[in-house]
């Protein structure tokens, strides 16, 4: 795989996700932030992933515990 | 049910450790099994397993402990009822490489598209379908991170995967969803 403007190393690409998730220590976050600023492909992955995360958080209806489950819960407690 | 019925202490522990996480347990089971009815079965079974094992809880992270049991129970349930879902993750990687070659990975041309356009007209059913279509190994990591908000190290604990594998599967899961939505858009 080449490291030109249209292909990015998979490691860098994964680090974009860790950067977005706040999982990098400050030193690594600075490095990855600079890489994103310098690479249109990484910037695209960053923006699209950020939008996806927001959509997942805001648009999906919650899977709520059925009201009757409390009864079953008591039964499984013995 | 014959599971140490009269152990009042176990019941108290169960109430303190497991019950606070039942809603989340149900949400995770729903996403792993794909429907509410099966999720109820899984959570019931997970409750039973948790009750039996309550004495082994180390007292550190009840949420991760409960979700670990739920995940394990869901895997057992799927192995029994839908064994085709349990596929070695390696099987997807070759397929993924081919797909990436076809769509050119994260091409620079993507940048020219407003980033919000991809998801602006998104309807919920398409998003849910894209999640449901993910292989289980990717779906579980996405759910635990993006829907339940677990940190990578917590996901690693629940799935017994190395943190690096959590990171790579999460990236793959998100790319697959974005790819699916983009394809459907065309």
**CATH no. for residue B58?**
1.10.1740.10
Rounded Cα distance between A43 and A41, Å, is 5
Regions of chain A short of the pLDDT cut 50:
1-6, 71-75, 77-78
Residues B80, B20 within the same domain: yes
Residues B30, B53 within the same domain: yes
Closest Cα of chain B to A62: distance in Å? 7
Mutation site for B-interface testing, chosen from A45, A50, A53, A68 by largest number of B Cβ within 10 Å? A45
Residue A26 tokens read as 């400050």
H or E element: which one contains B93?
helix B90-103
Residues B87, B3 within the same domain: yes
CATH number at residue B105: 1.10.10.10
Residues B109, B84 within the same domain: no
Nearest residue on chain B to A62, alpha-carbon basis? B27
| pLDDT, position A1 | 41
- DSSP secondary structure of B9-67: HHHHHHHHHTGGGHHHHHHHHHHHHSSHHHHHHHHHHHHHHHHHHGGG--SS-HHHHHH
Rounded Cα distance between A66 and B142, Å, is 23
**Complex ipTM over 0.85:** no
Using one digit for the tens of pLDDT, what is the confidence trace for B159-175?
999 999 999 999 999 99
Residues B105, B78 within the same domain: no
Residues B185, B122 within the same domain: yes
Contacts of A56 in chain B (CB under 8 A): 127, 142, 146-147
Contacts of A23 in chain B (CB under 8 A): 151-152, 167
Residue B52 and residue B121 in contact, taking contact as beta carbons nearer than 8 Å: no
Residues B80, B111 within the same domain: no
Residues B115, B172 within the same domain: yes
Query: B91, B123, B155 — which closes off a domain?
Result: B91
CB contact under 8 A, A77 and B111: no
Rounded Cα distance between B69 and B73, Å, is 6
Residues B65, B128 within the same domain: no
Domain that holds residue B164: 99-186
pLDDT at B43 over 50: yes
Closest Cα of chain A to B56: distance in Å? 17
Query: B91, B108, B140 — which closes off a domain?
Result: B91
Residues B120, B44 within the same domain: no
What average pLDDT score do residues B43-60 get?
Answer: 92
Number of domains in chain B: 2
Residues B144, B166 within the same domain: yes
The pTM score is 0.83
Nearest residue on chain A to B47, alpha-carbon basis? A76
Mutation site for B-interface testing, chosen from A56, A59, A75 by largest number of B Cβ within 10 Å? A56
Residues B73, B157 within the same domain: no
């Amino acid at each position: 795989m080449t490291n030109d403007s249209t292909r990015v190393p998979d490691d860098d690409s994964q680090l974009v996700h860790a950067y977005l998730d706040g999982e990098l220590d400050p030193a690594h976050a600075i490095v990855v932030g600079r890489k994103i600023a310098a690479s249109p492909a990484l910037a695209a992955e960053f923006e699209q992933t950020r939008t996806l995360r927001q959509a997942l958080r805001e648009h999906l209806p919650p899977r709520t515990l059925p009201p009757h489950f409390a009864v079953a819960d008591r039964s499984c407690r013995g | 049910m014959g599971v140490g019925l009269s152990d009042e202490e176990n019941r108290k522990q169960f109430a303190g450790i497991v019950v606070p996480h039942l809603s989340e347990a149900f949400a995770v089971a729903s996403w792993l099994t794909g429907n509410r009815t099966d999720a109820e079965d899984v959570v019931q079974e997970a409750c039973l397993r948790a009750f039996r094992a309550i004495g082994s809880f180390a007292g550190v992270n009840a949420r991760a402990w409960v979700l670990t049991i739920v995940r394990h129970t869901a895997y057992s349930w799927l192995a029994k009822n839908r064994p085709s879902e349990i596929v070695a993750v390696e099987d997807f990687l070759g397929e993924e490489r081919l797909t990436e070659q076809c769509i050119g990975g994260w091409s620079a041309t993507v940048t020219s598209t407003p980033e919000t356009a991809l998801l602006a007209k998104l309807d919920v059913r398409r998003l849910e379908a894209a999640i449901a279509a993910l292989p289980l190994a990717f779906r579980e990591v996405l759910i635990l991170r993006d829907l339940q908000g677990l940190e990578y190290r917590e996901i690693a604990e629940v799935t017994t995967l190395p943190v690096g594998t959590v990171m790579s599967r999460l990236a793959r899961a998100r790319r697959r969803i974005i790819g699916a939505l983009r394809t459907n858009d065309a």
